[in-house]
Amino acid sequence: MENPLHVQATATPASLPSRPPDPCSLVLFGATGDLAQRKIVPALYNLALGGDLPSPFALVGTSTSIGDASAYRQRLRESVARFSRTQPLDEAVWSRFAPLVDTVAADVNAAGDWARLRERVLAVEAQRGSGGNRLFYFAVPPSAFGPILGGLRDSGLLYAPQQAPWSRVVIEKPFGRDLESARELHRLVGGLLDESQSFRIDHYLGKETVQNILVLRFGNSIFEPLWNRKYVDHVQITMAEQIGVERRGKFYDANGVVRDVVQNHLLQVLALVAMELPPTFGADDIRDEKQKLLRSLRVPSPEDVVFGQYRGYREAEGVSPASRTPSYVALRLHVDNWRWQGVPFYIRSGKALARRTTEVSIHFQQIPFCLFGREDVCQLIEPNVLVLRIQPDEGIALSVATKVPGEDLTVGSVHLDFSYADAFHREAGEAYEKLLLDAMRGDATLFARRDGDEQAWSLVTPLLQAWEASRAEPAFYDSGSAGPPEAAVFMRRDGRRWRPLIAPR
């Protein structure tokens, strides 16, 4: 029996105001691409809407085919009206935001175009008075990183590290496709940028519930004493998508689910869930602890994984008719340290599943002894589960056992539940809004560091190599299902079961 009990939250004075972002110019490479249109520019508009955009500020969009500023602004207006989380478009805010946008057509592989890009950036800085601070955003494939970094250096647009004004670079994933290619990219970036200038963005780390993991753990004395092998039976991390590969068939078929979301998003979330308390909440102290945790993860064996593929995947545009690329993975991981020894961490992610949901669930151990007179009653009592909902309804729920009113001893389960939107009467901001602000502030807490990224690759690369060298077929599953049946069997062998892919409430 299950009943929801919603809770009301109130803000407390125990808060540290964020430092305002520095005035700057944002130079957006790949400005006509899908990421810029759907995520980056709508996030900047939302920051302007909330009064959080730095002042002064300028956006310089560049690509080979961007056209003049007026045409690009109109294109952005349509994108913002469609993809911004705040609807409808606020005409007054847009009228203030649009003039901040400028463009320059440039081919990053053409040496002559860099002079034109430099001239436009300097002109915009002089016009807007942004102080010379520059944030370069690479919304481009990794193959373009080298030409862009070399062009920034040779054109003089890139400042030396720890210099005022500053220059920083935001780099989008995928950052490599295995350990060796990731190291090669890191060597390339490290040869031209100091680590303090490198911001490897993982938008999942900007989500409200992901940020709240550390506050929940270390800000509540009722949880941290239980956050270990003595009280936790296992942990599940789920990222389920309803959609298939859609228009990303060519990209997805070359990468698959592990490279797309496990190596980055889900291992970063696991590290936050399982890491030790950092000495401070400074960026490097937090990332040091995440790195220690990732180093403690045991490399999984083939018995620890189920690769799946939804029926119809091979018919998608850009996908090979004989593709073995997995669109689903179920993975069992072990953390070999004092806190977590013997506690399995289960990760599952897939496309074309029954529901869209991303969550972390902490499953506590079964009660050790029957106190209620009948053994069958104890068998019905579900263990406590703490669920951190990352999307779509960001929030937290805790299930607890309680007696159902009446003469019989009937035990039910009640969920203490809150969502950010309901409890604080405001929507959680989009991840890109938070991460863009942090990059402007120089706060790298929510960005991946080189050593952590390489450690994550060292964990999954052997698994990917073994799969790609084999001739095995993936476990097939129907679109709209919970995934391949083999994944359920995988859990039953451990005496456990996946949380159902329930619809958002």
- Show which residues are catalytic: 265
Dihedral angle of Cα 200, 204, 206, 207, to the nearest 10 degrees:
180
Coil, strand, or helix at residue 365?
Answer: coil
| DSSP bridge pairs for 237 | 347, 360
CA atoms of 125 and 278, how far apart (whole Å): 39
Q: Which amino acid is at 253?
A: D
Q: How many helices (H) and strands (E) does the chain have?
A: 16, 16
Element (H, E) at 103: strand 101-105
Cβ atoms within 10 Å of 45's Cβ, excluding its own: 27
**DSSP conformation class of 302:** G
Largest CA-CA distance found in the chain, in angstroms, rounded: 85
CB 416 within 8 A of CB 7: yes
CB 105 within 8 A of CB 69: no
Is the distance from CB of 309 to CB of 328 less than 8 angstroms? yes
- Cβ(412)–Cβ(404) under 8 Å? yes
